[in-house]
Chain A
Amino acid sequence: MYDAGKILIGLVIFLLLLTFPFWFSLGQASYESPDLQLPEDKEECIEDTEWMRKNHMQLLDDWRDTVVREGKSIYIGKGGKKYDMSLQKTCMDCHTSKEEFCDKCHNTASVDPYCWDCHVAPEEVANGQQ
């Protein structure tokens, strides 16, 4: 083989990069899906859990536009129940802790939504963390 040394070094670098996730996770505890803190006194969310998991970001975005641009603020959820379109007054009334609810999935999925550029997280504010 010509330049065997150089070719093998290149190949090893490539394989190291390719298998990066494997050796990065070596010695780490096995991955667990995030365990969310659910509100104790409430039975159901405004929509199905499954639906909320996939679409909550779209819902919040729609809410913002509807409230800010159209001035409407009533959302009709599952079973015809009416809710106030408000992150802080509706969502975070039950899911009080940003850290124990929102952040857990957002961190693991490496998502950094800009909700809290403006909004405050009630529990963290109460504890003086923000």
Chain B
Amino acid sequence: MNALYALIMVLALVIIPLLGAGAAGWHVLFGVIVPYLAFIAFVLGFIYRVVLWGRSAVPFKIPTTAGQQQSFPWIRRSRIDNPSTRAGVVVRMILEVLLFRSLFRNARVRLFREGPQLSYGSSKFLWLGALAFHVSFFVILARHMRFFTEPVPVLFNWMETLDGIMQVGVPTLFATEIVILLALAYLLLRRLIDSKLRYISLPTDYFALFLLFAIVISGVLMRYFLRVDIVDIKTLSMGLIQLQPEVPDSVGVMFYTHLFLVCSLLVYFPWSKLMHLAGVFFSPTRNLPNDNRMRRHVNPWNYPVKVHTYEEWENEYRDKLKEAGIPVEKE
């Protein structure tokens, strides 16, 4: 049911440009105004969320990470999994951001032979699917820079050549397009097939997947099936970049659909779980060094406590203590 809600919402997002840019012909609205507004909304929303996270309190450091903490010199410590230095944290963050080490640890729990025995197994598929999706998405994003730069930097040309190195068909089939479709299909089916996952999945979980699916499919359709004139599209996109918007007539409705879906993603992004793009850098179990025993971390919630030390107490009652024959530290 949750999946159905999300699917209906994405279909609604597909229909809007079909009617607006297709039937009604509001090309300036869908080609210029909506993209600008979406971009601004993305940037402002992103900054807002990051600043909000930055301002939230860190009451304590979380040392319970996988790996032996620094202890006696004869106990081997885990420098990356439980770092006590900044360098260790940097390595751990880099591995987390680029290789998703936390997902690599993903385990599956099963009841063995329906009996009382519980078994834990390694489960790498989520890690593999996530990595395949994110890498493809990044390459696809970088490839799109050919529409926003002139002359196109050679780096993007190389990425494109590498991506289409199999030289299948015309225009050349990009490997990332196949990979991202397979990865998205896996990430979606995993939620739909596993009853436990289906139970905890919310409409927003499916919405992101369906929206990405719609974006990829509209892009693939535009490139291989319902062709559009790419040079006209570049005129439009470069106009947007150089703040001199110009809307060529011949750009098809397929393009406006693709663009509108991307704009929807941009607007949705800062307010959704997709903000893990920034959130991964704010993971307390990943970005805090385990140096609790070397450096004092002060809880910002602590209010100033009025302290009365033993020394002060003794000073106050020294005479009486001596009188009563109770030993004192200072005579």
- Chain A residues with CB under 8 Å of chain B are 1-4, 7, 10-11, 14-15, 18, 20-22, 24-25, 28, 30-31, 33-34, 50, 53-55, 57-58, 60-61, 105, 107-114
Contacts and interface: CB of A to CB of B under 8 A. Distances in A.
Interface string B231-252: 1101100110110100000100
A105 to B, nearest CB: 5
Which 4 pairs across A and B sit closest by C-beta, in order of nearness?
A21-B148, A31-B238, A110-B146, A54-B227
Contact of A1 (B51, B149, B235): B51
A66 to B, nearest CB: 14
B66 interface: no
Contacts of B47: 11, 15
Given A1-B51, A21-B145, A109 B43 contact: no
A28 B150 contact: yes
Nearest to A31: B238
17 contacts: A2-B58, A7-B50, A14-B278, A18-B43, A20-B148, A24-B149, A25-B148, A25-B149, A25-B150, A28-B150, A31-B150, A105-B231, A107-B152, A109-B231, A110-B152, A110-B157, A111-B171
Contact of A4 (B54, B148, B239, B242): B54
A15 B244 contact: no
Nearest to A23: B241
B146 A109 contact: yes
Nearest to A32: B235
B161 interface: yes
B292 interface: no
Contact of B244 (A30, A33, A58, A60): A30
Interface in B143-189: 145-146, 148-153, 156-157, 160-161, 167, 169-171
A108 B150 contact: yes
Contacts of B234: 31, 33, 108-109
Contacts of A34: 231
A50 to B, nearest CB: 7
A24 B239 CA distance: 14
A34 B232 CA distance: 10
Contacts of A112: 157, 160-161
B311 interface: no
B295 to A, nearest CB: 14
A31 B55 CA distance: 42
Contact of B239 (A3, A20, A31, A55): A31
Given A3-B54, A57-B171, A60-B170, A108 B227 contact: no
B153 to A, nearest CB: 8
B281 interface: yes
Nearest to A2: B58
B167 A25 contact: no
A130 B55 CA distance: 62
A34 to B, nearest CB: 7
B145 A20 contact: yes
A2 B231 CA distance: 47
Given A21-B145, A30-B242, A30-B244, A54 B229 contact: yes
B325 to A, nearest CB: 53
A109 B152 CA distance: 8
Contacts of A30: 242, 244
A14 B58 CA distance: 24
Nearest to B154: A110
Nearest to B145: A21
A69 B46 CA distance: 55
Contact of B241 (A1, A15, A21, A55): A21
Nearest to A115: B170
B197 interface: no
Interface string B255-294: 0000000000000000000000010010000000000000
B231 A53 contact: yes
